[in-house]
């Protein structure tokens, strides 16, 4: 039973980081599912959340878990504004214009962060968050445990919103058939703005809970965008429950690959999994069918 | 133009619709481009490096446009082919003392093969799968370049300090590199001009406009997209070889990076997708703007790219040359309608 404890250690680490990936991926998948927009600025919003937490911590001494209460509404508002001002103009145009616009927005955000904060990595030091808890022979860092808890709460909240409320029903209707939704009186432009806002709120919240865990670098946004894509493709493009499964899977694959194969390729394992899924099951591990040519 | 059997013989067609500028002969303008860059060599002898980077970027973007503009499959992973070209020259020169021209052929073949497999994997799927996979594959190649230290020198990089000389030309001289880059740019422009005016070009545009209708007309979209991708990849890799020699110090960071892929794509989009000279115009504009703002914005010059791309997509979705072309065509139609 020698290999079991390290295995469980890796598994728990992978699941906890995977929860955060899921949180990032869920927003991307929701936006794609409802609006058919691929948001290339998603990772940059994660970085925006991280830097917001750092600024609030350094300037006001605010605990990052408290600043969640500021970051999530802020993300929601910024997302609504971006959607109304930029993306709403392009939603009905076929082709990749929304993809390019969000790519441009991402570049603007990451370079503004670069101009404001500089290139050197920044982080938050929380004495209580660096401790670890022993649980059945597994070491669990407190910051990761809190991150896992917050993720669970947020995703459950989103789930309840989507399945238990009239608003959630309108969102699902818009995702299934936009014209049909409009015919029964749903204000789909409003739903779009709302969904984009929720996606950005989730991304910024993910950034905030990552702040005590990782160093913030202005240009790191692209790698989070990439991870979010991997998560959504693993789970099926546009599927919210799929994104949760995809996120957890990505975390575990990265952790296991890094510790049993080669740590240098840590970021590549997820990409290999992504390519494998494209090859074998493009509808995603948990998704429905996709259109083939 | 062949007349159909029903066309009235003898009677000259009253008002023949003007030829869209798409079909206007590109050769005079190509000669103009060649002359302009040749003049650059003699007028700005101190700015040869700038000219080389401009011509290489223009060449990559023109090659990108074959797939991203003419066929409508935007790629955000073309840095993979640039890096592949550069590293092929570097690795083969350092380990096997292979001549750079053979290395260039090898790199083009490797890029074509990679594109073929990659197209197989993703072109059969509709939606955003292709563009997502392009980022993933470029990223995997970057990680390979960082981790396979024995071959690529890892993150520290690889130096090219000795190359066989074609016809006694020193490839490390900026003067020689300038003319090679000009030759490369012209080659890409000629290939794209020929391809887009031929049968494949029409098929590419048909696939771009409406895949289902193209299929109904007997076109195999997967095959057309794959051909466009293979050509685009091989041409980009050739430019990557030149870039590798130009840099002579190869590092995974600038070569395989997403930023390079984005820059290649944005230059083509700003200049005008699906136009022969759009990517060149975009590259010239962006390179000169970046040169002007270099001191003000230092490393954040991608901020300008970001703003430009948002503005172009919102207000000028056809790009600079695309808008110009449309205006010219409209004016000609208006003229012919007046008689």
ipTM confidence: 0.80
CA distance A185 to chain B (A): 28
Compute the residue count for chain B. 339
When pLDDT is cut at 50, 70 and 90, the band that residue A204 belongs to is very high
In angstroms, what separates the C-alpha of B300 from chain A's closest C-alpha?
5
Q: Could you tell me if residue B107 is inside a domain?
A: yes
Q: Provide the whole-model pTM.
A: 0.83
Stretch A30-44: mean pLDDT: 87
Asked if residue A108 belongs to a domain, the reply is yes
Angle between helices A42-60 and A188-210 (to 10 degrees): 50
Q: Give the bridge partners for A134, in sequence order.
A: A139
**Domain contains B81:** yes
Can you tell me the mean pLDDT for B279-294?
84
Give mean pLDDT, residues B251-276.
84
- Residue B270 pLDDT greater than 80, yes or no: yes
Assess if residue B335 is contained within a domain.
no
Nearest chain A Cα distance for residue B293, angstroms? 14
Axis crossing angle, helix B174-197 with helix B27-43, rounded to the nearest 10 = 170
Give me the residue from B140, B258, B307 closest to A268, CB to CB. Answer: B140
A290 closest CB neighbour out of B74, B76, B127: B127
Contact A291 B127 (CB under 8 A): yes
Rounded to 5 degrees, φ, ψ at A213 are: -95, -40
Residues 6+ apart with CB under 8 A from A88: A189, A192, A193
Q: What is the mean pLDDT of residues A199-210?
A: 91
Compute φ and ψ for A122, nearest 5 degrees. Answer: -125, 155
pLDDT per position as a tens digit, A165-203:
989 889 888 888 888 988 998 888 899 999 999 999 999
Number of domains in chain B: 1
Q: What is the C-alpha separation between B102 and A233, in angstroms, rounded? A: 39
B230 domain-assigned = yes
What average pLDDT does chain A have? 84
Within a domain: A216: yes
Which chain B residues contact residue A97 at CB under 8 A? 313, 317
Chain A, window 207-236: residues with a beta carbon less than 8 angstroms from a chain B beta carbon: 222, 226, 229-230, 233
Task: Identify the top-confidence range among A141-155, B3-17, B120-134.
Answer: A141-155
Q: Flag whether pLDDT at B121 surpasses 70.
A: yes
- Measured between beta carbons, the chain A residues lying within 8 angstroms of B306 are 103-108, 111
What average pLDDT does this structure show over B274-283?
Answer: 90
Give the pLDDT of residue B135.
84
Q: Is residue B59 a part of any domain in this protein?
A: yes
Least Cα distance to A28 among A17, A19, A15, A41 occurs for A41
Rounded-to-integer distance, Cα B162 and Cα B192, Å: 33
Min distance A22 CA to chain B CA atoms (Å): 18
Q: What is the rounded average pLDDT of the residues B210-227?
A: 90
List the Cα angle A208/A210/A213 in 5-degree steps.
Answer: 135
Q: How many alpha carbons fall within 13 Å on the CB side of residue B79?
A: 25
Do the chains contact at A96 and B131, CB–CB below 8 Å? yes
* Domain count within chain A: 1
Q: What contacts B112, CB < 8 A, 6 or more positions away?
A: B230, B233, B234
User: Looking at chain A, which residue has its C-alpha nearest residue B155?
Assistant: A264
Structural domain boundaries, residue B239: 27-161+171-257
In a domain, B318, yes or no: no
Sequence-separated (6 or more) residues with CB below 8 Å from residue B236: B60, B63, B64, B78, B81, B82, B85, B111, B264
Q: Identify whether the C-beta of residue B251 lies closer than 8 Å to the C-beta of residue B144.
A: no
Taking all residues of chain B, what is their mean pLDDT, rounded to a whole number? 82
Domain annotation covers residue A29: no
Phi, psi (deg, nearest 5) at residue A292: -110, 155
Residue A184 lies in a domain: yes
Tell me the average pLDDT across A13-39. 87
How far B302 CA lies from chain A's nearest CA (Å)?
Answer: 6
Check residue B249 and give its pLDDT. Answer: 81
- The confidence band for B22, taking pLDDT boundaries of 50, 70 and 90, is low
Which band of pLDDT confidence, cut at 50, 70 and 90, is reported for residue B239? very high
Which of A159-163, A221-225, B145-149, B188-192 holds the top average pLDDT?
A: B188-192
Alpha carbon distance A86, A99 (integer Å): 12
Point out the least confidently predicted range of A58-67, A86-95, A141-150, B86-95: A86-95
In a domain, A27, yes or no: no
Question: In this complex, is the C-beta atom of A86 within 8 Å of any C-beta atom belonging to chain B?
Answer: yes
Domain contains B119: yes
On whether residue A177 sits in a domain, the answer given is yes
Residue B223 within any structural domain of the chain: yes
Segments forming the whole domain that contains residue A110: 4-16+35-221
For CA atoms B9, B12, B15, B16, give the dihedral sign. Answer: positive
Are A207 and A64 within 8 A, CB to CB?
A: no
Interface test with A, best of B118, B128, B149, B221 (most A CBs within 10 A): B128
Both tokens assigned to B242? 């030149």
A-chain CB neighbours of B74 within 8 Å are: 96, 99-100
């Amino acid at each position: 039973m020698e290999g079991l404890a390290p295995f469980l250690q890796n598994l728990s680490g992978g699941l906890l980081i995977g929860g955060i990936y899921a949180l990032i991926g869920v927003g991307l998948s929701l936006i794609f599912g409802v609006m058919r927009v691929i948001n290339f600025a998603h990772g940059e919003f994660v970085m925006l959340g991280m830097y917001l937490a750092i600024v609030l911590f350094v300037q006001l001494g605010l605990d990052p878990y408290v600043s969640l209460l500021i970051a999530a509404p802020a993300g929601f508002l910024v997302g609504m504004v971006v959607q109304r001002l930029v993306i709403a103009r392009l939603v009905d145009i076929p082709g990749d214009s929304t993809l390019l616009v969000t790519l441009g927005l991402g570049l603007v955000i990451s370079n503004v962060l670069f101009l404001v904060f500089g290139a050197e990595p920044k982080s938050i030091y929380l004495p209580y968050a660096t401790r670890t808890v022993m649980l059945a022979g597994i070491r669990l860092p407190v910051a990761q445990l809190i991150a896992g808890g917050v993720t669970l709460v947020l995703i459950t909240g989103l789930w309840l919103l989507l399945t238990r409320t009239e608003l959630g029903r309108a969102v699902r209707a818009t995702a299934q058939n936009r014209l049909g939704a409009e015919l029964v009186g749903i204000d789909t432009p409003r739903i779009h703005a709302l969904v984009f806002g929720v996606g950005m709120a989730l991304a910024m919240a993910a950034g905030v809970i990552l702040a005590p865990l990782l160093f913030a670098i202005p240009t790191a946004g692209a790698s989070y965008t990439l991870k979010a894509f991997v998560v959504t493709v693993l789970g099926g493009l546009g599927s919210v429950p799929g994104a949760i499964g995809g996120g957890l899977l990505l975390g575990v694959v990265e952790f296991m690959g890094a510790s049993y194969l080669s740590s240098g390729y840590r970021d590549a394992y997820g990409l290999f999994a992504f390519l494998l899924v494209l090859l074998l099951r493009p509808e995603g591990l948990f998704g429905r069918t996709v259109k083939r040519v | 133009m062949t007349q159909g059997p029903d066309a009235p013989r003898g009677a000259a067609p009253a008002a023949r619709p003007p030829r869209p500028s798409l079909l206007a002969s590109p050769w005079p303008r190509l000669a103009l481009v060649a002359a302009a860059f040749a003049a650059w060599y003699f007028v700005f002898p101190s700015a040869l490096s700038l000219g080389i980077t401009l011509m290489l970027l223009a060449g990559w973007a023109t090659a990108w446009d074959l797939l991203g503009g003419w066929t409508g499959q935007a790629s955000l992973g073309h840095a993979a082919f640039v890096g592949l070209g550069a590293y092929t020259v570097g690795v083969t020169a350092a380990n096997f003392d292979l001549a750079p021209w053979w290395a260039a052929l090898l790199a083009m073949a490797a890029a074509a093969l990679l594109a073929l497999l990659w197209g197989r994997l993703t072109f059969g799927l509709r939606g955003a799968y292709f563009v997502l996979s392009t980022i993933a594959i470029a990223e995997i190649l970057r990680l390979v370049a960082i981790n396979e230290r024995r071959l690529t020198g890892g993150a520290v990089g690889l130096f090219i300090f000795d190359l066989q000389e074609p016809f006694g030309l020193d490839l490390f001289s900026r003067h020689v590199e300038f003319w090679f880059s000009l030759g490369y740019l012209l080659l890409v422009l000629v290939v794209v001009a020929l391809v887009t005016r031929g049968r494949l070009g029409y098929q590419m545009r048909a696939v771009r406009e409406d895949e289902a209708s193209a299929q109904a007309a007997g076109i195999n979209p997967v095959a057309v997209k794959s051909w466009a991708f293979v050509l685009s990849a091989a041409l980009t890799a050739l430019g990557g070889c030149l870039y590798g020699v130009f840099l002579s110090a190869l590092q995974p960071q600038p070569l395989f990076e997403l930023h390079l892929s984005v820059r290649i794509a944005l230059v083509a989009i700003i200049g005008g997708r699906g136009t022969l000279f759009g990517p060149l115009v975009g590259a010239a504009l962006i390179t000169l703007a970046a040169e002007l703002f270099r001191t003000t914005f230092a490393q954040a010059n991608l901020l300008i790219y970001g703003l430009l791309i948002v503005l172009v997509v919102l207000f000028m979705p056809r790009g600079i040359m695309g808008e110009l072309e449309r205006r010219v065509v409209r004016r000609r139609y208006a003229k012919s309608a007046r008689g």
